[in-house]
Amino acid sequence: MISDKANKIFQEAIQTYKVKNTVDQPFENKYDKESDLLGHLLYRKCWIDTVQWAYEDIIRDPNIDPVAALTLKRKIDASNQDRTDTVEFIDSYFLDKYKDVQVKSDAKINSESPAWAIDRLSILALKIYHMAVEANREDASEAHREACQNKLNVLLEQRTDLSTAIDDLLNDISNGDKYMKVYKQMKMYNDDELNPVLRAANK
């Protein structure tokens, strides 16, 4: 099952990041691009999400220096673009994988592509990791730990449901019961020609 592979890799990426637990650490992909392209993409996807999770924590520091905050905002913008690009690479992988499937005449399209569902699974892995930390925090109150444990239980159930939905979708695509149609995100705010502020600044 693809979801089993994804969940395993996401946990591995998070655990590896947490060894040094700094946004400045070098990235090294544990999965070879040639022998395991999907694993390579999934690991990179979750690493991007893990670093961005840390960025989002840091930028919410009420005492952050405004200049440092602006620099960090630029990093978050770049990370968001990297995340989107990686999701689209994952969808390209699935498009190629199922390109020879005979689509049935009554096949339907899904509301989101497989990769964007996997994107949510990666974010969910981070929520589960951090909620588990809070549920077991020794310096927190019992009420806090109990509340976080209840939230963790919901997140774990959500991961089971989302994993099942992803596997069902990919199975339907492989059988021709559903078909993929991927739309590029076409983000406008990073484009010098499409963002009027950037366009004006470059004149």
pLDDT digits (tens, 9 = 90+) for 117-174: 999 999 999 999 999 999 999 999 999 999 999 999 999 999 999 999 999 999 999 9
Total domains in the chain come to 1
Q: Is residue 199 part of a domain?
A: no
What's the predicted TM-score (pTM) here?
A: 0.89
Sign of the dihedral through C-alpha 186, 192, 194, 197: positive
- Is residue 31, in this structure, part of any structural domain at all? yes
pLDDT tens, N- to C-terminus, the chain (203 residues) = 899 999 999 999 999 999 999 999 999 999 999 999 999 999 999 999 999 999 999 999 999 999 999 999 999 999 999 999 999 999 999 999 999 999 999 999 998 999 999 999 999 999 999 999 999 999 999 999 999 999 999 999 999 999 999 999 999 999 999 999 877 766 666 666 767 766 666 76
Q: Compute the distance between CA of residue 116 and CA of residue 122 in angstroms, rounded to an integer.
A: 10
Answer whether residue 86 is part of any domain: yes
Classify residue 197: in a domain, yes or no: no
SS3 25: coil
Q: Does residue 200 lie within any of the structural domains?
A: no
User: Domain of 117?
Assistant: 2-191
* Alpha carbon separation from 111 to 2, 11, 115, 128, 130 (Å, rounded): 19, 27, 12, 25, 29
Give the integer Cα–Cα distance in Å for 66 and 72.
Answer: 10
Position 141 in a domain: yes
Question: Both tokens of residue 167?
Answer: 């596997």
From 107, 115, 95, select the one nearest 41 (Cα to Cα). Answer: 115
Residue 162 within a domain: yes
